[in-house]
Structure 1
Amino acid sequence: MNNKDMKIHLTVDVWAAQKADARAVRFDVFVIEQKIPVELEWDDMDEHCLHAVAYDAAGHAIGTGRLLPDGHIGRMAVRAAGRGKGVGAAILKALMAQARQRGDAEVVLNAQTQAEAFYGRYGFSRDGEEYYEAGIAHICMRHVFS
C-alpha cells in the first residue's frame, strides 16, 4: 500500500452473506449520490454473483462490487470516504482474482466513462462506443487474462 491507501478488510462471498452491507453501499452511491432510480439498481443477478465488500478500520462497509457467472464485473461502488485511497483497486483486484481462479479467460465491465482511466490502470481496454445507462455515459471495457 502507498501513502494514500487506507487500511481495509475485504471479504468475498455469496449474496446471502454480503447482502446487507453491499446493498447499503450501493444505495448510498448509486441511488442517493448518483440519483439512479432505485428500480434500476436491483436485479435478480445478485444472488448468482460473488460479492466483494470492503470495510474500513472501524468496520464500516465502504465499497463493494460483484462478479457475475459470465465474467462481468459490476456494481463497483465506493463511498466518498474511501475514494482515492485504494478501496476500489482492492475490490477490483479481488474480483479479477476470483475470475481467474475459476478459469475465466477474461473479465468485462460496463464502466462510467469518468472511471475509464481507473480501469485502464488494471489492464482494461475500451471495447466499443460510449452509450448511456440510467442517464450516465458508459463504455464497455475488457481485460483478457494472459
Structure 2
Amino acid sequence: MEALQVNKVNSKEDLEKVFAVRKTVFVDEQNCPPELEWEHEDDSVHFLALLNNEPCGACRWRKTDNGYKLERFAVLKEHRGKRIGQALVAAALSDLPSDAGYIYLNAQLQAMRTYARFGFIAEGEQFEEAGIQHMKMVKKA
C-alpha cells in the first residue's frame, strides 16, 4: 500500500522540492513561462505531498487583497489519479485561519471536479492564464 502524506513546508530543502514539482508540471509539461511561475513565494504557505517519501505534488495558499487564494496545485504526471490533488486541497483548506471568509482559486478546467468536491463553485467567465483555460472558483460555506 502506498503511503501518502501532505506536509506544510518549513525548510528550504522542502521548498526546493516544491519548486521542482512545480517546474516539472507547469514549466516543462504545460509550457508555462518560468517568469510567471515564480511569484509571491515569500508570502505563501507551501505544502509538499509525498508518496512513499518521494515528492509527488505541491500547492500553496496566500492572503490577497480579496481573501485567501489557493494556488499552484501540481501533481506529477505519473502520480495523477491517486487522490493526491484532493489531499493537497484538504491540507491547504485545513491550514487556513479559522476566520478565512473569502476563499478562492483559479482552476484549470480539468481540475474543476476536484475543487467542486470541497464546495468550490465556478464564478464568472472562462479565461486564459499562461496559455491554459481556467475558471475562477469560490468556496461556498
TM-score of the two chains, using structure 2 as the length reference:
0.90
Q: Secondary structure at the match of 1:21?
A: helix
Name stretches of at least 5 consecutive residues in structure 1 with no aligned partner. Answer: none
Name stretches of at least 5 consecutive residues in structure 2 with no aligned partner. Answer: none
1:35 aligned onto 2:53: no
Question: Could you say if the C-alpha distance between residues 15 and 102 of structure 1 is closer, same or farther in structure 2, counting changes exceeding 3 Å?
Answer: farther
> Deviation of residue 14 (structure 1)?
4.5
Q: Secondary structure at the match of 1:68?
A: strand
Question: Could you say if the C-alpha distance between residues 67 and 17 of structure 1 is closer, same or farther in structure 2, counting changes exceeding 3 Å?
Answer: farther
In structure 2, which of residues 67, 74, 87 is the aligned counterpart of residue 77 of structure 1? 74
> Deviation of residue 116 (structure 1)?
1.3
2:108 aligned partner? 112
1:94 aligned partner? 91
CA distance in 1, matches of 2:121, 2:105: 10
1:51 aligned partner? 46
CA distance in 2, matches of 1:104, 1:14: 22
Q: Structure 1, residues 23-73: CA drift from partner, whole Å, max 9, x if none?
A: 000000000010111111111x1111111100111x211000001023100
Q: Is the 8 A contact 1:130 1:139 kept in 2?
A: yes
CA distance in 2, matches of 1:125, 1:6: 31
Q: Structure 1, residues 62-121: CA drift from partner, whole Å, max 9, x if none?
A: 00000102310000000012211011111100101111x442023200001121122111
CA distance in 2, matches of 1:66, 1:17: 16
> Deviation of residue 17 (structure 1)?
5.7
State the AA in 2 paired with 1:28. Answer: T
Give the number of the structure whose residues are more often strand, by fraction. Answer: 2
Question: Could you say if the C-alpha distance between residues 6 and 142 of structure 1 is closer, same or farther in structure 2, counting changes exceeding 3 Å?
Answer: farther
Question: Could you say if the C-alpha distance between residues 107 and 36 of structure 1 is closer, same or farther in structure 2, counting changes exceeding 3 Å?
Answer: same
Q: Is the 8 A contact 1:15 1:49 kept in 2?
A: no
Q: Is the 8 A contact 2:127 2:135 kept in 1?
A: yes
2:99 aligned partner? 103
May I ask how many residue pairs the two structures share in their alignment?
A: 138
TM-score of the two chains, using structure 1 as the length reference:
0.87
Alpha carbon RMSD of aligned pairs, Å?
1.7
